[in-house]
Amino acid sequence: MKPNDPTKVKTGTREALLDSAEVLFSDLGIAGTSLRAVTSHAGANLAAVNYHFVSKEGLVREVFRRRLAPVSAERLRLLDLARGESAPEAAPVAVIVEAFVAPVLRMGEDQPEKTRNFKRLLGRTLSEPGDEMSKIVMEQFREVGERFLKAFQEALPGVPLDILMWRFHFMVGSLIQVTLNGALIERHTAGRCDASNIPELTARLVESLAAAFEASVSGFRSPPKAARSSQGNAAEISPERRKQAESHQQPDGDSSSIFPWEEGF
């Protein structure tokens, strides 16, 4: 390849723009970062942004896709492997959990400096979500969420869908906590618990989450939100909607997921 090969120059400019956007978005927020600031930081010009990403929204989408697409792909690969090895039985709950959390915990393990800024950005986006940002992050995780929920349903057929959703929600929250605030446990335990030890962190997180998923369901079950409304708490979920929820299907004409994956991790 010639030193002045335009393909190499274009690829370098594209990566420089993504790297700069990642740094500035994590420091200033996406709304607080102008395209001019990104191009200045990257040593490029606005025409380069238009050429590679069309718009700021396109740049934002690619910043997230670049880091999250490999994580999603690895999650699905591990899930397919687990289900294949366990067939015709359902995959063990602990193996499903590990397939979900391990790729995130290992993200950037070899080159942590390359993902440090992105983890800060992701944490900022999840803690201060806007409608557009939630949509962009959710796009990266919709298939993952649907596939893993189905695997948990197969592994835990006796657990109601709404309980599985609660437990999935708690798993996502735990993963966010250990990924973004792992240093807290090191301080609180004077170093006895080392969150930078990824194999140890993964093992402890998986055993805790698997136990939570497999726990018996308590006698308390809150009525549906509609039943707690101001109309005398008399409203009920229609038999059709309840059947759709139990089978994890959408009503006709409803394109939204029964479990909106806006948590996005």
pLDDT digits (tens, 9 = 90+) for 50-109: 999 999 999 999 999 999 899 999 999 999 999 999 999 999 999 999 999 999 999 877
Tell whether 7 and 111 lie within a shared domain: no
Rg (CA), the chain: 22
- Based on the fold, state whether residues 50 and 71 are members of the same structural domain: no
d(CA 49, CA 41): 13
Say which CATH number the domain at 152 has: 1.10.357.10
Query: Which carries the bigger pLDDT value, residue 151 or residue 222?
Result: 151
33 and 147 inside one domain: no
What is the model's pLDDT at position 243?
A: 54
Domain-embedded: residue 107: yes
- Owning domain of residue 224: 67-246
What pLDDT is attached to residue 141?
A: 84
Residue 207 lies in a domain: yes
Please indicate, yes or no, whether residues 10 and 118 belong to a single structural domain of this protein.
no
* CATH assignment at residue 12: 1.10.10
Are 168 and 240 in a shared domain?
A: yes
Answer for the pair 193, 181: CB distance below 8 angstroms, yes or no.
Answer: no
**111, 39: one domain:** no
Instruction: Based on the fold, state whether residues 228 and 144 are members of the same structural domain.
Output: yes
Average pLDDT over residues 157-174: 94
Q: Are residues 109 and 163 in the same domain?
A: yes
Q: Assess whether 176 and 242 both reside in one domain.
A: yes
How many structural domains compose the chain? Answer: 2
State the pLDDT at residue 54.
95
- Domain-embedded: residue 256: no
Average pLDDT, the chain: 81
Rounded Cα distance, 59 and 35, in Å: 9
For the stretch 51-59, contacts whose Cβ atoms lie closer than 8 Å and that sit 24 or more positions apart, written own/partner, are 51/10, 52/10, 52/13, 52/14, 52/17, 53/17, 57/132, 59/17, 59/18, 59/21, 59/35
Give the mean pLDDT of 232-251: 48
Say if 257 falls within a structural domain: no
At residue 82, the pLDDT reads: 97
Q: Is 166's pLDDT higher than 50? A: yes
Top-confidence residue, 31 or 37:
37
Q: Identify whether 262 is part of a domain.
A: no
Residue 247 has pLDDT above 60, yes or no: no
